[in-house]
């Protein structure tokens, strides 16, 4: 009789481990995190934009979604380069993909207009 609860516990544990192992990532990151790190180390904005745009094409072609902050970071890089139209486009995309970022994106857009 003691085997039944142990068997049930083992099956439950196996099911939980299998469920956790089969989860796929919600977002495709590519080189986003290293690019943010490089930004804080003072890397050239042009190089970062090139890398992030290249990665964005890979992400889109695989049908995945870039992580939160990806378009916002890209927009800020465009702002540093003086490419305001592209900055606005990236901030709008961030708002569309992640509505919880709308207040911050609106703040950045208002600040950029000044």
The domain that contains 71 carries what CATH number? Answer: 1.25.40
Residue 70 has which token pair?
Answer: 């990806």
Tell me which residue range forms the domain holding 63.
28-113
Q: How many CA atoms lie within 13 A of 23 on its CB side?
A: 8
- pLDDT category at 48 given cuts 50, 70, 90 is very high
Residue 8 maps to a domain: no
Query: How much is the pLDDT for 114?
Result: 81
DSSP 23: P
**Structural domain total, the chain:** 1
Residue 10 maps to a domain: no
The stretch 72-82 carries a mean pLDDT of 96
CB 35 within 8 A of CB 51: yes
Query: How much is the pLDDT for 4?
Result: 67
CA distances from 90 to 7, 21, 41 (A): 53, 34, 23
Residue 49 maps to a domain: yes
Cα dihedral across residues 53, 54, 60, 65: positive or negative: negative
Please check the confidence at residue 111 and state whether its pLDDT lies above 70.
Answer: yes
Please check the confidence at residue 94 and state whether its pLDDT lies above 80.
Answer: yes
Residue 5 maps to a domain: no
Residue 76 maps to a domain: yes
């Amino acid at each position: 009789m003691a085997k039944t609860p142990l068997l049930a516990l083992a099956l439950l544990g196996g099911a939980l481990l299998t469920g956790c192992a089969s989860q796929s990532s919600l977002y495709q990151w590519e080189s986003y995190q290293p690019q943010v790190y490089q930004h804080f180390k003072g890397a050239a904005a042009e190089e970062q934009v090139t890398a992030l745009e290249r990665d964005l094409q890979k992400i889109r072609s695989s049908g995945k979604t870039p992580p939160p902050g990806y378009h916002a970071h890209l927009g800020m890089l465009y702002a540093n380069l003086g490419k305001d139209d592209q900055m606005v486009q990236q901030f709008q995309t961030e708002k569309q993909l992640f509505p919880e970022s709308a207040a911050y994106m609106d703040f950045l857009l208002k600040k950029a207009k000044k």
